[in-house]
Amino acid sequence: MRVICDLMGSDRGPGELLRGVCAAAPLTDAQLILVGDREVILREAEEAGLDLGDFRLVHTGQVVTMEDDPLSAVRVKKESSMSVALHLLAVEEGDVMVSCGNTGALFTGATLLVRKVRGIQRAAIATVLPFSPPLLLLDSGANVEVNEEYLEQFAVMGSAYAARLFGLEQPRVGLLNNGTEPHKGTHVISEAYKRLSVCPRIRFVGNVEANMLPNDVCDVLVCDGFTGNILIKSIEGMASMMMGRLRGMFTANPVTRLSSMAVYKPLRGMKHDFDATEYGGSPLLGISRPVIKAHGSSNANAYKNAILKGIYYARTEVIRDIADAAEEFAAQKRAERENTKDSGWNDK
């Protein structure tokens, strides 16, 4: 197993990611390939006292920033760490690629350089939400605008991944909406509801409202990337606010500090559950080879877990499952077109 690590373009810089790489190394037998500016990486490693002797280092002279236009970044910055890392994955010099960089550029680069699974129209970012039990959300940021067919494919891909990730035979798939009634939502959402209701590859449980998510109503939640990204950040912000208020409440005076000892372990467990760094990265479902998107502000622990998540994802058969589903999906659409043609001929 070879993991290609893009070390440039994150909010915290390559030094923090290097610490994540070094933390992941003892936990796996995979070869870790570091991609980025050699001079910067070696300087950061020396300052942090990190030994890079066991890692392969691939030098690149350009960096994709968070401000770069996604398409321009891929077309113009061909020697960036992100583009080179994706190229290494495409030519099979690695088995999985992990990046904290510009989401749009990574999505565009993966689509153009690594390519999608045949039959998949749009890849999607699949993110685990820390409910009990956990919930898989897609798309969480790749596709701002979608149509009903994209959402149907997201549901099929998400179901395939959730089956492997959560050990479920038939994951329950929900469609994020502003009401549970079939007619609620935009035209795209209502049309997607109709498609998902008759899709043979999934177990569709209907529309799901955001306030229902903690109640174990579904295992996979499907939406467009714009809505999904807002949902994730809203959950992160709410969790941060709640932990801050609890901390303030339990440290307000000697009595509350004493009482906090009784609930210390449960609170610590809750904090761990909502700690985004523990979940590492999110795979780009629908890309023909494993690509993991880690949070742009990932710390060492988050990047370590993103690497481990990438290794797990690469070792599963999820991409093959998605390819099989896409082939069946395409065959179904061909049959529908043929039936439409036959119906039209008979009407004449």
Instruction: Judge whether 258 lies within some domain.
Output: yes
pLDDT digits (tens, 9 = 90+) for 329-347: 778 777 877 777 665 544 4
In the block, residue with structure tokens 């898989």: 136
Instruction: Judge whether 348 lies within some domain.
Output: no
Strand partners, 128: 136
Whole-angstrom distance, CA of residue 233 vs CA of residue 221: 16
As a three-state string, the secondary structure of the chain is CEEEEECCCCCCCHHHHHHHHHHHHHHCCCEEEEEECHHHHHHHHHHHCCCCCCCEEEECCECCCCCCCHHHHHHHCCCEHHHHHHHHHHCCCCCEEEECCCHHHHHHHHHHHHCECCCCCCCEECEEECCCCCEEEECCCCCCCCCHHHHHHHHHHHHHHHHHHHCCCCCEEEEECCCCCCCCCCHHHHHHHHHHHHCCCCEEEEEECHHHHHHCCCCEEECCHHHHHHHHHHHHHHHHHHHHHHHHHHCCCHHHHHHHHHHHHHHHHHHHHCCHHHHCEEEEECECCCEEEECCCCCHHHHHHHHHHHHHHHHCCHHHHHHHHHHHHHHHHHHHHHHHHHHHHHHC
Q: 302 and 175: one domain?
A: no
Q: Are 17 and 299 in contact (CB under 8 A)?
A: no
Q: 261 and 302: one domain?
A: no
The tally of domains found in the chain comes to 2
- Backbone torsion region of residue 284, taken as left when φ is above 0, otherwise alpha when ψ lies between -120 and 50, otherwise beta: beta
Q: 91 and 149: one domain?
A: no
Q: 30 and 157: one domain?
A: no
pLDDT digits (tens, 9 = 90+) for 131-151: 888 999 999 999 999 999 999
Residue 121 has pLDDT above 70, yes or no: yes
Q: Which residues contact 233 (CB under 8 A, 6 or more apart)?
A: none
162: containing domain: 125-278
- What pLDDT sits at residue 346? 47
Specify burial of residue 31 (Cβ count, 10 A radius: 0-12, 13-18, 19+). middle
- What pLDDT sits at residue 347? 46
Q: 205 and 87: one domain?
A: no
- What pLDDT sits at residue 345? 45
Q: 100 and 163: one domain?
A: no
Whole-angstrom distance, CA of residue 230 vs CA of residue 214: 17
Instruction: Judge whether 134 lies within some domain.
Output: yes
Name the least confident of 40-54, 110-124, 270-284, 324-338. Answer: 270-284
Q: Which two tokens stand for residue 280?
A: 């590492």
Instruction: Work out the mean pLDDT of the chain and round it to a whole number.
Output: 90
Among residues 278, 297, 327, the one where a domain terminates is 278
Q: 150 and 261: one domain?
A: yes
What sign for the dihedral angle of Cα 323, 206, 176, 170?
negative
Name the least confident of 96-105, 129-138, 269-278. Answer: 269-278
What is the distance of C-alpha 251 from the center of its chain?
A: 36
Q: 9 and 111: one domain?
A: yes
Name the least confident of 58-67, 152-161, 275-284, 291-300. Answer: 275-284
Q: 130 and 272: one domain?
A: yes
Strand partners, 5: 34, 98
Give me the CATH number covering residue 179: 3.40.718.10
Q: 171 and 241: one domain?
A: yes
pLDDT classification of 273: cutoffs 50, 70, 90: low
Instruction: Judge whether 203 lies within some domain.
Output: yes
Instruction: Judge whether 93 lies within some domain.
Output: yes
Q: 136 and 223: one domain?
A: yes
Q: 271 and 296: one domain?
A: no
